[in-house]
Each structure stands twice: as C-alpha cells, then as structure tokens.
Amino acid sequence: MLIIRRRVGESILIGDHIEVQVTEVAGNRIKLGISAPASVLILRKEMKLAEQENVAAARGVSPQAIHVLLGRLRPT
C-alpha cells in the first residue's frame, strides 16, 4: 500500500486518466474529488462489501462464512 501526504488542493494521479484531489480537510475527515473516465466504476468500499454480503446471503451462504471472506478484504 502506498501512503502519501497531500494538502488541500493537491492531487495524486493514478495511471494516465485518474486524478484524486484533496478538496477539504475537517477534523478527522477529508473530502476527495475524483476525475476519471465514465467507464471507471468508483465506489466506496463499504458499498462493495455490502453488495458482496447481499449476494452471498441470496445464495444462502452462512453469515460466519461471509465475515471470514470479508475479513480477507479489509485492511489489517
């Protein structure tokens, strides 16, 4: 994992077509602006995890198995 410090107004580039800019810092929260092609799906991680939980539940996977799988996705 790359860890980088940025101030308000500063950006990072991901590849040639994605820019992430820090637009606001307030306490322990930051606001990011993301410029990317429309073909790039941008989701909050918790939304992706919720989707995976829903799909697993619809398939009848046990809640314990879901948490084991999700634990592998979450950073330590």
- pLDDT, residue 36, reads 97
Give the alpha-carbon dihedral of 7, 37, 47, 5, to 10 degrees. -20
pLDDT digit string (tens) for 7-35? Answer: 999 999 999 999 999 999 999 999 999 99
Q: Tens of pLDDT along 30-71?
A: 999 999 999 999 999 888 888 888 887 787 767 677 777 777
DSSP state of 47: H
3-state SS, residue 22: strand
Q: In degrees rounded to 5, what are phi and psi of residue 56?
A: -65, -40
* Residue 75: predicted pLDDT: 60
Report, in angstroms and rounded to the nearest whole number, the Rg of the chain calculated over CA atoms.
16
Separation between Cα atoms, residue 72 and residue 12, nearest integer Å: 27
Residue with token string 């398939």 = 59
